[in-house]
Structure 1
Amino acid sequence: MKKIYLLFLVLAMTASCTKKKKADLLVVNANIYTVDSVFSKAAAMAVKDGKIQAVGKSEELIEKYEGKRVLDAKGKTILPGLVDAHCHFFGLGLNQQKVDLLDTKSYDEVLQRVVAFQNDKKKSFVFGRGWDQNDWEVKEFPVKDKLDELFPDIPVVLQRIDGHAYLVNQKALDLAGITKDTKASRGEIVMENGELTGLLIDNPMAMIDAVVPDLSREEQANALLEAQEICFGFGLTTVSDAGLDREVIELIDSLQQSGDLKMRVYAMVSNSEENLDYYLAKGIVKTDRLNVRSFKVYGDGALGSRGAALKEEYSDKHHHFGALVTSVEDVYDIADRIAASEYQMNTHAIGDSANAIVLKAYNSALEGKPDRRWRIEHAQVIDGKDLDYFSQGIIPSVQPTHATSDMYWAEDRLGADRIEGAYAYKTLLDKSGIIALGTDFPVEKVSPFLTFYAAVARKDLDGYPKNGFQTKDALTREEVLKGMTIWAAFANFEEKEKGSLEPGKWADFIVLDKDVMKVPINEVPDINVEHTYSAGELMSEKNN
C-alpha cells in the first residue's frame, strides 16, 4: 500500500511539473526591447489579465505557458507602449473639426484653406490652427484685412502653431468687445498705425475664448475618440495632456469607465483658482487608465511669437523682452500651495527669464520635500547659471521636434551666444539624470518617430542641416527610447506600472515594421506601427 501511495505521489508531482500555466496572450519569436534597468532584450512574453507574467526566450515560455492567443512576431521589433510626456490629446480631437493650417507656405494659402473649409462645412464660427509665419517667404505676422473682406459677417479665429497667438477678423473682435482702447496685460493686442491688426498674443486671447461657442458633450466625446484612434495608430498607449479643465477630465473618466476610451491619460489640470480649489481638496484621482495628480501652469509665451520671457531683449526686436503669462508673485504662491499637497507642478517655460523664475520658485517651495518630480515643460532657453536647479530633482520635459522646427529662425530671436543654451537636451539630461520626451501635438505632428529622429539626428526631414543642429545636445537612441517610455512614466509617477516590459506591469506594447534601434536614422520617420496593444488587448492594427 505504501508503494502504491508513493507511485501516485510521484505521478502527481510529474503531472504538476508538466502542466502549463494559462496565459491570455503568448508573444513569441520577437525582438523585444524591454527597457528594464539593464536595457535587456527578450524574444517572448506571457500576458494574463492585462499584465505581463513573464518575459524570456520563446522556447522557455512555450514550454511553460499555454496561450489562448498566440502572436508570432516573426522577428519583428517590440517596444513598450510609447508615452507622450507632453501633448494636447483633447486638442488633437478638437482640431479634427478645425481648419488645418499646418505647413502653409504663405498667408494666401492660409486664406485659401479657410475659404475651402467654410465652403464645405458652412460653420457659424470658423476656427483654424497651425499657421507659422516663419515658414513663409514673407516672415511677418499677418493682419486681418483680407479676412475681413472674405468673412465680413462670420467670426474667424486662426490660432498660431504654438497656441500663443490668434489672428482674428473684425467680426470676432466685435463679439469679444475688443477695440483700440482695450488694455492688454501679460500679452499684446497688436496695433499698427493706431489700428487693430487682428493679432492677439497670449493673455488677450482669453477675450476671444470667452465668445467661442461651447461644444456639446457629444462633440467633446467624439473629439476624444478621434484623438484616441490617431494616437493608437502611432503606438502611443499613454498621453500626458498638458492642460485640462475639470469638465473634460470627468468626461475622460466617464468614457474610460464605459470602455469607450481605452487610452491611458495623465491629466495635467489647467491652473485656475476653481481647479486648484477643487482638486487640492479632492486629492489625487487614480484609476487604471486615468491619473490626475498635477497642475499645468504657464510661465510665459512662445519664442516664435516673441512671447517667451527673456532676460535680455530679443535680438531681432529691440526693447522687447517677451512677457510672463503668470506673474512672479503668482508663480511663487501657486508653487507654495501645490507643494503643501501631493500634487505635481508642471510649468510651461520657454525663455531664460521664465525658466529662471520658475526654477527658483520650485527650489523655494520644495525645500525639504524630496521626490516631488516637478517638471519644466519645454525648458527651451536656459541660462547656464540656472542649469544646476535640474540636479535637484526637477525634471525637464521637452519636445525634440521643437528644435528642428525652430532652428531656421531661433538664432535670429536669441543671437549667437544665447542660442547655445537653447534646446539643450543632452545637457539637461546630464544635469537631471532623466528627460521626459513628448511631441506637443497638435503644435507638432503626432508621430513619436519624428520625436525620435529629431532627438538623435537634430535634422529636418530633408536632412538639413548636413551636420545636424547643435549636435552636442543630441541624444542616443537608448536615451530617446527611455525618454519615451520609462522616463516619461517616471515623470508621471507611473514607472511601477508601465514604461518597460517586465513582469507585473501592464502589457502595453507595440510591434514595428523596422528595428528603430538599428535602421539608418533617416529611415526612422517612416517606421510604421503594425500593432498597438494596451493591457494585452489589440487597439490598432495596420493592414500590410
Structure 2
Amino acid sequence: MKKTFLALLASFSLSTTAQVTLIHNVNGYTPTKSQQIERFSSLVIKDGKVVKTSAKDLSTQYPSATKFDGEGKTLLPGLIDAHGHIIGLGNNLLTLDVRGSKTIAEVGKRLSHYAKAHEGEWIIGRGWDQTLWPGGQFPTAADLDKYVKDKPVILTRVDGHAIWVNSKAMALANISKSTKTPEGGEIITLNSGMPSGIFIDKAEDLIRTHVPAQSDAQVNKALNKAGEHLLSLGITSAHDAGIDYTTWQVYQARAKEHTMPLRVYAMLSASSPKLAEMLDVGVIK
C-alpha cells in the first residue's frame, strides 16, 4: 500500500497565528542543528511557529490547544524549491494547456473551449509538440484560424523554443512577406513566402512584444494560483530566479500585507531597466 504523507505548510502556520495548535499521532521527521534526523509523534505550533516536538503525546500538556489527529501519517518540514519562476508557473496554470495533444484538431478543441471562457484580449497557451501528430509537420496560422480568428492566439511549443500563432496575432504584429528574420531566430514560411505562423527562438519577439504587459491584478492572480499549487505539494518556500519590476512591486505590497502564500527569496532580473531603483530599496521582509 502506498504510504500517505502530510506536509507542514506555510498556510497552516499562518492560519494558527495567536493560538496554540497540536498535531499528534504522526510519524514525524525533522532535521536538527547537529545534522541528525529527529523523530516525533507530536508537534506544537504557537503564534505561527513550531515551539515543540516530542516522541510522546502532548495532549495533556496542551489541553486547550486546537488538536489535529495525524492518523499515523508521515509529517515532513515544508520543502524549498531552490530555483523556480513563480509567476511563470502561475501563468502556466491559468493559461491554455495543450500538452499531450495528438492532433491539430485536439489542440483546436481545447482552444475553442478555452476561448469561450476567456475574457482577455490575447489567448496564451503552451505545450504543443508536432512530433506527436500524424506527419510530424509544423502547423500553420490557418490551422488556428479555423477555431479562433477574432482574437490573437499565441501557443508556445512544449520546449519553449517556438510559438505558433494565428493570423490575428500576425496582423497585430504587422507581420508580412517583408518581415526580416532577427539574428538568433527563424520564421517558418509557406511556399508563397508568407510567414506560416511559426516563429522560432529570437523571432518570437516579433509577436511577443505586442502582448500587453501583465497588470498588478494579473500578477497577483498568478501568484495566488502558483502558491495554491506549490503548497498542495508541500513546497512552502521558493527562490524566484529573476523577477521584473511589476512582480517586484506586487511582492513588496503582499509582503507588507503579510499575504504572501509562501516564502519567496526573490532575485531581481539583471536586465530590468529599473534594476538600480529596486536595489536601492533593499530587502523586503
TM-score, normalised by the number of residues in structure 2: 0.78
1:158 aligns with 2:163: no
In 2 relative to 1, CA 277–186 (structure 1 residues): closer, same or farther, beyond 3 Å? Answer: farther
| Equivalent position amino acid for 1:189 in 2 | I
For residues 92 and 31 of structure 2, the distance between their equivalents in structure 1, rounded to whole angstroms, comes to 33
Aligned-pair distance for 1:53? 2.1
Offset from partner CA, 1:389-434 (integer Å, 9 cap, x none): xxxxxxxxxxxxxxxxxxxxxxxxxxxxxxxxxxxxxxxxxxxxxx
The CA deviation at 1:57 is: 1.1
> Structure 1 regions of 5+ residues with no counterpart?
1-21, 288-544
1:522 match: none
Q: Which runs of 5+ in 2 are unaligned?
A: 1-17
**Structure 1 residues 50-90: Cα deviation after superposition (integer angstroms, max 9, x where no partner):** 2222323124x557656622333121110111223333322
**1:35/1:253 Cα in 2 relative to 1: closer, same or farther (>3 Å)?**
same
Residue equivalent to 2:87:
90
- Partner of 2:12 in structure 1? none
In the TM superposition, residue 175 of structure 1 has moved relative to its aligned partner by 1.7
Q: Is the 2:24–2:69 Cα contact (8 Å) retained in structure 1?
A: yes
Q: Does 1:270 align with 2:269?
A: yes
**Cα offset, 1:109, TM superposition:** 0.9
RMSD: 2.9
Kindly indicate whether the alpha-carbon contact (under 8 Å) linking 2:188 and 2:195 is maintained by their aligned counterparts in 1.
yes
User: What is the DSSP-based 3-state SS (H/G/I as helix, E as strand, rest coil) of the residue aligned with 1:43?
Assistant: strand
- Counterpart for residue 128 of structure 1: 125
The structure that is helix-richer by fraction is: 1
Count residues in correspondence. Answer: 264
The answer (yes or no) to whether the contact 1:32–1:42 under 8 Å persists in 2 is yes
- Summarize the Cα distance change of 1:286–1:179 in structure 2 as closer, same or farther, 3 Å threshold: same
Please show how residues 494-533 of structure 1 align to structure 2 within 5 Å.
none
Contact 2:23–2:67 (Cα < 8 Å) also in 1: yes
Contact 1:256 1:262 in 2 (8 A): no
**Comparing 105-114 and 259-268, the one that deviates more:** 259-268
Structure 1 pair 38–103 and aligned structure 2 pair: CA distance change class (3 A): same
What is the rounded CA distance, in whole Å, between the counterparts of 1:176 and 1:268 in structure 2? 31
Q: TM-score, normalised by structure 1?
A: 0.44
Q: Which residue of 1 aligns with 2:212?
A: 213
CA offsets per residue over residues 341-398 of structure 1, 9 Å max, x none? Answer: xxxxxxxxxxxxxxxxxxxxxxxxxxxxxxxxxxxxxxxxxxxxxxxxxxxxxxxxxx
Cα gap change, 1:76 to 1:281, in 2 (>3 Å):
same
Asked whether the 8 Å contact 1:106–1:138 carries over to 2, the reply is no
User: Counterpart in 2 of 1:29?
Assistant: 25
Distance 1:197 1:256, change over 3 A: same
More strand by share: 2
Whether 1:102 aligns to 2:99 is yes
Identify if the C-alpha distance between structure 1 residues 115 and 222 changes in structure 2 by more than 3 Å, giving closer, same or farther: same
Q: Is the 8 A contact 1:98 1:127 kept in 2?
A: yes
Cα distance between partner residues in 2 of 1:116 and 1:256: 36
Given that residues 245 and 272 in structure 2 are in contact (C-alpha distance below 8 angstroms), is that contact kept between their aligned partners in structure 1?
Answer: no
Q: Secondary structure at the match of 1:274?
A: coil
1:264 CA drift (Å): 1.5
The corresponding residue for 1:316 is none
Alignment of 1:366-405 (within 5 A): none
Preserved contact between residue 24 and residue 49 of structure 1 (Cα < 8 Å): yes
Q: Which amino acid aligns with 1:82?
A: L
Does structure 2 retain, via aligned residues, the 8 Å contact 1:23–1:66? Answer: no
Matched, 1:174 2:171: yes
* Distance in structure 1 (CA, Å) of the matches to 2:76 and 2:64: 20
The residue number in structure 1 matching 2:248 is 249
Separation in structure 2 between the aligned mates of residue 84 and residue 135 of structure 1, nearest angstrom = 31
Matches within 5 A, 1:298-447: none
Kept in 2: contact 1:155–1:170 (CA 8 A): yes
- Preserved contact between residue 176 and residue 194 of structure 2 (Cα < 8 Å): no
Counterparts of 2:171 and 2:180, CA distance in 1: 12
* Matched-pair identity in %: 35
Distance 2:116 2:61 in 1: 62
